[in-house]
Structure 1
Amino acid sequence: MKFLKTTLWAIVICLSFQNCAKKTEEQKEEAAAGEQSSGREIWTKEQAKDWYAKQGWLVGADFLPSTAINQLEMFQEASFDTATIDRELGWAEEIGMNTMRVYLHDLLYQQDSAGFLKRLDVFLNIAQKHKIKPVLVLFDSCWDPFPRLGTQRAPKPGVHNSGWVQSPGFDALKDSTQYPRLEKYVKGTVAAFANDDRVLAWDIWNEPDNTNNSSYGKVELPNKVDYVLPLMTNAFAWARSVNPAQPLTAGVWAGDWTSHETLKPIEKVMIDQSDIITFHNYEDAADFEKRIKQLQQYDRPIICTEYMSRGNGSFFSGSLPIAKKYNVGAINWGLVDGKSQTIYPWDSWKKTYTKEPDLWFHDIFRKDGTPYKKEETDLIKKLTAAK
């Protein structure tokens, strides 16, 4: 009997210890989940400046291989063209470029998250080979609001960005039941590369309040910005929740940046949630410099993530020396003339172009690697080489 009592007590004590151990593990898991959900804070100005000081002067282009018409064609398995990517990033390296801005898409993650992340990893390896650290763009409000997976349509002859697609598209943006899917995309993609030195930064949402009036305005989601603003705010939180070592940002692109009070509500969120300040400017050199001075009020590193539209008065010779003067990163739209057809101007949506324009709107190289204007590539090479 005494032996039986002792055995029963031993069982009780053992079970008690097991329960305690189980609770301890559960508490650890809960704590870890809570820590991940809160994520890191927005960087202080000092943290942002320390990061920027390690990068050197950033110069690059918004990159799409010449064989892809949009983000989907760039990264889908059937059309992922590593040979062209490698060749064209090599041309960028030769003129001293050290970054590229590259657009991703939520449908790529939905279609095949493992395959998409694997291909993104391959792309980052190619970029690293050429000493290029990309800015990765998660969402985009520009151009076609009806993205579709699979084979992409052929370019419309002579039309600027005739096949570029929004992310998320019209249907997902208006449907809150799809937001958990978008959350998985943001968290899954950022988490996969959160501590990866090959990634320069995360651009949360490109031109979020762009309603594409000159192209798709008539079929856009009514009150689009009312949907985008809260979703973009959440997207910042989702990305930050997985503790990325890289900065988060969203670039202001149109409006009055004289003071924080003159910003639109969506611009305030873009600035307030960003670790570093990014902006777009397709105007002349004087306006480019004015915009930089306006954004200096935030006392954070600044990168221009879109500029250079020759037909609009924005040239390398005007903007790039100013960017270097103020230590502002400079990423121009377009590297190689290709299926995006951004050598044609924005007005090609209204005006017919039957041949290559004498003055290219965007892009630097022809498909064979020769520069559109050698004096431009000479200037880029000279400015990036100068210490």
Structure 2
Amino acid sequence: MSPNAEVGRRAVLKVPVVVGAGLAISRTPRASAETARWSPERAHRWHRAQGWLVGANFIPANAINQLEMFQPGTFDPRRIDTELRMAKHLGLNTVRVFLHDLLWVQDRAGFQRRLARFVDIAAHHRIKPLFVLFDSCWDPHPRLGTQRGPVPGVHNSGWVQSPGAEHLGDPAYRRVLRDYVIGVISQFRHDKRVLGWDLWNEPDNPADVYRAVERRDKVERVAELLPQVFGWARSVDPVQPLTSGVWDGEWGDPARRSAVVRTQLDLSDVISFHSYADPKGFEDRLAELTPLGRPMLCTEYMARTLDSTVESILPIMKRRNIGAYTWGFVAGKTQTFLPWDSWERPVLDPPLWFHDLLHGDGSPYRAGEVTTIRELTGRNRPN
């Protein structure tokens, strides 16, 4: 997801709650002493119960962004079912899925029905989603409705931030964000088919490719808002852990961590991080996080041209029991098989795919990657 990684290191309320296909009304719990951050012991108990988590960042090939994936009219449960069946066949047991606050604004009841449908489909394939609520990457001006088509030759040309720039610093919109967080998490707070809540993707990513239209005070506003998001989520007291993944800057030395990184590492139940580094760089990052004494999820890896590959990185995570999510699954409208720098130099047919594992028909980009995943997950063993 991180175009800048290549440069930098390359009100409690009643809400409708959907359960399966039906609607029910649930009262959101109030914050209490029992809704504190999980202890390391609780986090490790949860982690052991999951087994080794292996998955991918998931958006169906026919959606260009979070809005197109979940809006009415373009939500495609048949395609989602097809691709998650592919994931199960490959040996994956989890997917990381991005949501958006505007979907809540547009039609919260319909959005919740579609979310419930997604969870039902995933559970049918024994796949647990890790839901991402906010995202600071790419276009800071999201719009509901028909989404633009992909820009030929450009990586992730239609992805949008949540919340957008116009709402990020708007005090009047803060209640909407709060209702969205509490409403979505409350819907699944007791549902163990949902893996967890990744509250904000790369919150301090400056989205340099959109620097001309990006907020100059974005990181400051995010730094103010992120602890509140954790507080809103924590007040629901879900059975799933909360996290937000570090991706850049200093992680190991507390005195040198940014305000955003401190919030992420101090408030997350399980530690999540992104690394597109080669094996040595990846191990170095693990050394920064291991002393925290909590389970770890690498929620983004795999950039083939940077020597972050399935064959070189996934065995490290298997050995260390770290949850592993490739960026991308089936190549499609996001075009994330193209490199980050295609924003400056578009390329239609790269000599080597950057992200993504499968072609649109489900065939592997590299057979060896599929073999490695299936072997490491035990998918090759007889049932």
- TM-score computed with the length of structure 2 as normaliser: 0.90
CA deviation string 1:304-330 (max 9, x = no partner): 000001122211111100001111110
After superposition, residues 13-24 of structure 1 pair within 5 angstroms as: none
Query: Take 2:61 and 2:367, find their aligned partners in 1: how far apart are those partners?
Result: 19
Q: Match for 1:257 among 244, 251, 265?
A: 251
RMSD between superposed Cα atoms in Å: 1.5
Shift of 1:224: 0.7
Query: Take 2:283 and 2:78, find their aligned partners in 1: how far apart are those partners?
Result: 38
What letter is aligned with 2:93? N
SS in 1 for 2:141: coil
In the alignment, what sits opposite 1:6?
Answer: none
Shift of 1:58: 0.3
Residue 358 and residue 46 in structure 1: after superposition, are their counterparts in 2 closer, same or farther (change >3 A)?
same
1:103 equivalent to 2:98? Answer yes
In the alignment, what sits opposite 2:198?
Answer: 203
Alignment size in residue pairs: 354
Query: Take 1:201 and 1:239, find their aligned partners in 2: how far apart are those partners?
Result: 11
After superposition, residues 311-322 of structure 1 pair within 5 angstroms as: 311-322=305-316
Q: Is the Cα contact below 8 Å between 2:244 and 2:268 reproduced in 1?
A: yes
In the alignment, what sits opposite 1:223?
Answer: 217
Q: Match for 2:236 among 237, 242, 256?
A: 242
Shift of 1:268: 0.5
Shift of 1:46: 0.4
1:373 equivalent to 2:366? Answer yes
Give structure 1 stretches of 5+ with no counterpart.
1-31
CA deviation string 1:25-71 (max 9, x = no partner): xxxxxxx9996144611000000001001000000000000000000
Residue 130 and residue 224 in structure 1: after superposition, are their counterparts in 2 closer, same or farther (change >3 A)?
same
After superposition, residues 102-251 of structure 1 pair within 5 angstroms as: 102-213=97-208, 215-251=209-245
Residue 57 and residue 33 in structure 1: after superposition, are their counterparts in 2 closer, same or farther (change >3 A)?
closer
Query: Take 2:136 and 2:210, find their aligned partners in 1: how far apart are those partners?
Result: 11
What letter is aligned with 1:114? A
Q: Match for 1:80 among 75, 83, 92?
A: 75
After superposition, residues 16-95 of structure 1 pair within 5 angstroms as: 36-38=30-32, 40-95=35-90
Query: Take 2:27 and 2:369, find their aligned partners in 1: how far apart are those partners?
Result: 51
In the alignment, what sits opposite 1:323?
Answer: 317
Q: Is the Cα contact below 8 Å between 2:29 and 2:237 reproduced in 1?
A: no
Shift of 1:349: 0.4
SS in 1 for 2:351: coil
What letter is aligned with 2:364? P
SS in 2 for 1:187: helix
For the pair shown, the structure with the greater C-alpha radius of gyration is 1
Q: Is the Cα contact below 8 Å between 2:28 and 2:182 reproduced in 1?
A: no
What letter is aligned with 2:86? W
SS in 1 for 2:138: coil
Query: Take 1:211 and 1:180, find their aligned partners in 2: how far apart are those partners?
Result: 25
Query: Take 2:28 and 2:200, find their aligned partners in 1: how far apart are those partners?
Result: 26
Query: Take 1:152 and 1:360, find their aligned partners in 2: how far apart are those partners?
Result: 25
Query: Take 1:338 and 1:85, find their aligned partners in 2: how far apart are those partners?
Result: 13
In the alignment, what sits opposite 1:17?
Answer: none
What letter is aligned with 1:346? W
SS in 2 for 1:110: helix
In the alignment, what sits opposite 1:385?
Answer: 378
Residue 89 and residue 313 in structure 1: after superposition, are their counterparts in 2 closer, same or farther (change >3 A)?
same
CA deviation string 1:274-313 (max 9, x = no partner): 0000000011011111111211111000000000011222
CA deviation string 1:193-228 (max 9, x = no partner): 111111101001000000111x10121101211111
In the alignment, what sits opposite 1:340?
Answer: 334
What letter is aligned with 1:201? G
Instruction: Decide which structure has greater helix share.
Output: 1
Query: Take 2:320 and 2:342, find their aligned partners in 1: how far apart are those partners?
Result: 34
SS in 1 for 2:73: helix
Query: Take 2:374 and 2:125, find their aligned partners in 1: how far apart are those partners?
Result: 15
SS in 2 for 1:68: coil
In the alignment, what sits opposite 1:266?
Answer: 260
Q: Match for 1:310 among 304, 310, 317?
A: 304
Shift of 1:174: 2.1
Query: Take 2:200 and 2:296, find their aligned partners in 1: how far apart are those partners?
Result: 17
Residue 34 and residue 160 in structure 1: after superposition, are their counterparts in 2 closer, same or farther (change >3 A)?
closer
After superposition, residues 357-372 of structure 1 pair within 5 angstroms as: 357-372=350-365
Shift of 1:265: 1.4
Shift of 1:262: 2.2
CA deviation string 1:115-158 (max 9, x = no partner): 00110000001101111001000000000000000010000001
Q: Is the Cα contact below 8 Å between 2:62 and 2:333 reproduced in 1?
A: yes
Deviates most, 376-385 or 33-42: 33-42
Q: Is the Cα contact below 8 Å between 2:305 and 2:352 reproduced in 1?
A: yes
SS in 2 for 1:205: strand
Shift of 1:83: 1.1
